[in-house]
């Protein structure tokens, strides 16, 4: 009965192309890892939002009550107190709560909430304080090929495959055929609607490659996050931070004299205001701009995943009050519509990230021919656009 | 904030930075550069083709205007030629008429002159003929008259009488 129930749930998820690596794959519960209560649903969602060290597709409990996991173990690469340590994630046996301790090269490692800790010498088990923080272990630098890294690699290879094929098509014919016919207008869209108007006719060519990569990377990964594979790459702070810092580096390096002039010694204002403005502009350029990029993407995608998973969880949480059929259909309908919205959000966030990157780069390379009228125009445009998005 | 910082994985940050850098470099080299170059070339090709078509159209229009102008000119020329011919014709007719008239007048005058001189000649001839005739008649009459002496004396007498009277 349980199998039937669980495979039914999985089927529903798979058919819907929905998120999670499988609702029943949750291991933190310890006994069987099934999700039924509100508490477990919450824990499961929190767990999903984090990166995972193995690529779990689904799990189920067989007749003998044993938990079976279906998925791929990924390599764990750690920089510990004594150098590089590698082993497969399967050695944790799907434990995420500090129960299993892996010994490698005389060092003991355990995984708590997707973070790997190195235990102190001599410790045999993890001891927790009141807030469930490990007291006798330290976090290690974790360069593992996690699920997010696998996602980045897969999508990267896919992009390379698609677009290099499109590039090859142009050698033989003027107009691409097949899938290239879908990709070409997207490339043109990014070039003509994002890069060209925001950066300007003179400089846009230099940055189009970066903007195109970022746009397709974010968009495809956002959409991959909506499939049952359960990627949450663009919901990882580390990834969005990395993207935002790239944009920061690009517009800082390519900023021209005017740009730095306007940051450090704003022309056209009284002299005693200049240092104050310089501080504000510096904070704006180096903290606010990248943060607005990284937090917006991270928060939108995380929020989408949380809401979508919560709606799927209606299946379990309202099972008693609505019955199996009622709860499942309610969950189906609600999450279906949310999925449609999330598809839009996936595109929108990729667009906004690329658009704002282009805008910031455009501000850095803009040439002020007419000194101040022009400058005002640009900054008011920027304010308009930012007002629209924030 | 603390949870966010706790969730931030420095390892993932490093790995994704490396992967993204590689991805951007590879995409730029193998995809975006050739794609954007080909798109640019294609757009330029389209633009130049459009320009050429526009130019051809303009040339066509020019040609048509030229033709129109030539046609117009030809028409005007024909008209002026016709007009000239017409004028020439009427002038020729008028000239011929005038000449004919003067010729006729001249001929009439000549004829009149000829008639007058003929008439005079005829008159003169007639006169001389009449005079001859009269003289002949007078001779015959005189001969007849003077055939006897008496009559001759009588005549002389009468004539002398007339002469003395004078």
Query: Which of B4, B19, B36 minimises the CB distance to A152?
Result: B19
Residues in chain A closer than 8 A to B33 (CB atoms):
167, 209
Q: Are strands A67-73 and A141-142 parallel, antiparallel or unpaired?
A: unpaired
Residue A166 at interface with chain B, using a CB cutoff of 8 Å: yes
Over the range A29-67, which residues count as b (16 or more CB within 10 Å of their CB) and which as e? beeebbbeeeebbebbbbbbbbbbbbbbbbbbbeeeeeb
pLDDT of amino acid A217? 95
Does the distance separating the beta carbons of B12 and A239 come in below 8 Å?
yes
Question: Six-digit token pair at A18?
Answer: 């929905």
Residues in chain B closer than 8 A to A149 (CB atoms):
12, 15-16, 19
Highest mean pLDDT among A254-263, A315-324, B44-53: B44-53
State the SS3 of chain A: CHHHHHHHHHHHHHHHCCCCCCHHHCCCCCCCCCCCCHHHHHHHHHHHHCCCCEEEEEEEECCCCCEEEEEEECEEEEEECCEEEEEEHHHHCCCCECCCCEEECCEEEEEECCEEEEECCCCCCCCECCCCCECCEEECEECCCCHHHHHHHHHHHHHHHHHHHHHHHHHHCCCCCCCHHHHHHHHHHHHHHHHHHHHCCCCHHHHHHHHHHHHHHHHHHHHHCCCCCCCCCCCCHHHHHHHHHHHHHHHHHHCCHHHHHHHHCCCCCCCCCHHHHHHHHHHHHHHHHHHHHHHHHHHHHHHHHHHHHHHHHHHHHCHHHHHHHHHHHHHHHHHHHHHHHHHHHHHHHHHHHHHHHHHHHHHHHCCCCCHHHHHHHHHHHHHHHHHHHC
More confident residue, A380 or A151: A151
Which one of A89, A143, A232, A244 makes the best mutation probe of the B interface by having the most chain B beta carbons within 10 Å?
Answer: A143
Dump pLDDT digits (tens) for A122-172: 777 777 877 777 778 888 888 889 999 999 999 999 999 999 999 998 888
pLDDT band, very low/low/confident/very high, at B94 (cuts 50, 70, 90): very high
Query: Which of A148, A164, A241 minimises the CB distance to B30?
Result: A164
Least confidently predicted of A325-339, B47-61, B102-116, B126-140: B126-140
Residue B49 at interface with chain A, using a CB cutoff of 8 Å: no
> A260: left (phi > 0), else alpha (psi -120 to 50), else beta?
alpha
Highest mean pLDDT among A108-122, A207-221, A256-270: A207-221
Average model confidence (pLDDT) across chain A: 82
Task: Report domain extents, chain A.
Answer: 2-71, 75-144, 149-389
Q: What value does the mean pLDDT take over residues A9-24? A: 42
pLDDT band, very low/low/confident/very high, at A216 (cuts 50, 70, 90): very high
Cβ pair A48, A19 in contact under 8 A:
yes
C-alpha to C-alpha distances, B44 to A84, A191, A205, B52, nearest whole angstrom: 54, 16, 15, 12
User: What is the Cα–Cα distance from A74 to A97, expressed in whole angstroms?
Assistant: 18
pLDDT of amino acid B58? 96
pLDDT of amino acid A118? 85
Least confidently predicted of A110-119, A238-247, B48-57, B92-101: A110-119
**Whether pLDDT at A13 is above 60:** no
Q: Quick check: ipTM above 0.90?
A: no
- Residue A55's DSSP bridge partners are A72
pTM (2 d.p.):
0.73
Dump pLDDT digits (tens) for A352-362: 999 999 999 99
Least confidently predicted of A265-269, A313-317, A381-385: A381-385
Task: Report domain extents, chain B.
Answer: 2-165
pLDDT of amino acid A119? 83
Query: Which of B9, B11, B23 minimises the CB distance to A156?
Result: B23
CA-nearest residue to B28 within chain A is A209
Residue B104 at interface with chain A, using a CB cutoff of 8 Å: no
Over the range A366-378, which residues count as b (16 or more CB within 10 Å of their CB) and which as e? bebeeeeeebeeb
Coil/strand/helix, residue B8: coil
Residues in chain A closer than 8 A to B26 (CB atoms):
156, 160
């Amino acid at each position: 009965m349980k199998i039937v129930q669980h495979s039914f749930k999985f089927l529903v998820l798979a058919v819907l192309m929905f998120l999670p690596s499988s609702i029943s794959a949750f291991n933190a519960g310890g006994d069987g890892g099934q999700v039924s209560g509100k508490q477990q649903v919450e824990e499961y969602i929190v767990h999903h939002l984090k990166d995972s060290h193995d690529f779990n597709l689904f799990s189920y409990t067989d007749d003998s009550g044993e938990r079976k996991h279906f998925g791929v173990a990924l390599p764990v690469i750690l920089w510990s107190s004594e150098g590089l340590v590698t082993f497969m994630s399967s050695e944790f046996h799907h434990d995420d709560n500090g129960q299993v301790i892996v010994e490698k090269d005389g060092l003991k490692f355990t995984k708590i909430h997707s973070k790997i800790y190195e235990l102190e010498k001599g410790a045999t088990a993890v001891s927790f304080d009141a807030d469930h923080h490990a007291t006798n272990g330290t976090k290690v630098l974790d360069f593992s090929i996690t699920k997010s890294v696998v996602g980045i690699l897969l999508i990267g290879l896919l992009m390379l495959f698609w677009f290099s094929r499109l590039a090859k098509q142009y050698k033989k014919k003027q107009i691409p055929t097949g899938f290239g016919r879908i990709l070409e207008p997207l490339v043109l869209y990014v070039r003509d609607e994002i890069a060209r108007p925001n950066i300007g006719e003179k400089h846009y060519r230099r940055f189009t490659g970066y903007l195109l990569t970022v746009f397709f990377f974010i968009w495809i990964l956002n959409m991959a996050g909506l499939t049952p594979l359960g990627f949450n790459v663009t919901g990882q702070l580390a990834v969005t931070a990395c993207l935002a810092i790239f944009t920061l580096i690009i517009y800082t390096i390519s900023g021209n004299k005017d740009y730095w002039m306007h940051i450090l010694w704003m022309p056209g204002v009284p002299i005693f205001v200049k240092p104050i403005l310089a501080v504000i502009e510096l904070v704006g350029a180096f903290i606010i701009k990248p943060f607005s990029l990284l937090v917006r993407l991270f928060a939108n995608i995380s929020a989408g995943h949380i809401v979508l998973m919560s709606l799927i969880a209606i299946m379990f949480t309202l099972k008693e009050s609505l019955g199996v059929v009622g709860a499942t259909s309610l969950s189906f309908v609600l999450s279906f519509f949310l999925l449609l919205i999330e598809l839009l959000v996936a595109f929108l966030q990729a667009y906004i990230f690329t658009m704002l990157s282009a805008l910031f780069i455009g501000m850095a390379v803009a040439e002020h021919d007419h000194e101040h009228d022009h400058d005002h125009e640009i900054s008011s445009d920027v304010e308009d656009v930012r007002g629209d998005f924030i | 904030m603390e949870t966010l910082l706790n969730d931030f994985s420095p390892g993932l940050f490093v790995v994704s930075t490396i992967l993204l850098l590689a991805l951007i470099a590879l995409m730029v080299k193998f995809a975006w550069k050739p794609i954007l170059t080909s798109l640019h070339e294609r757009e330029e090709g389209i633009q130049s083709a459009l320009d050429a078509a526009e130019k051809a159209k303009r040339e066509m229009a020019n040609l048509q205007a030229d033709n129109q102008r030539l046609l117009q000119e030809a028409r005007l020329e024909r008209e002026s030629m016709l007009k000239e011919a017409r004028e020439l014709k009427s002038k020729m007719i008028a000239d011929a008429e005038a000449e004919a008239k003067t010729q006729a007048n001249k001929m009439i005058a000549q004829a009149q002159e000829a008639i007058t001189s003929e008439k005079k000649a005829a008159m003169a001839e007639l006169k001389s003929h009449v005079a001859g005739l009269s003289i002949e008649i007078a001779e015959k009459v005189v001969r007849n008259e003077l055939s006897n002496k008496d009559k001759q004396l009588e005549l002389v007498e009468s004539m002398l009488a007339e002469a003395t009277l004078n």
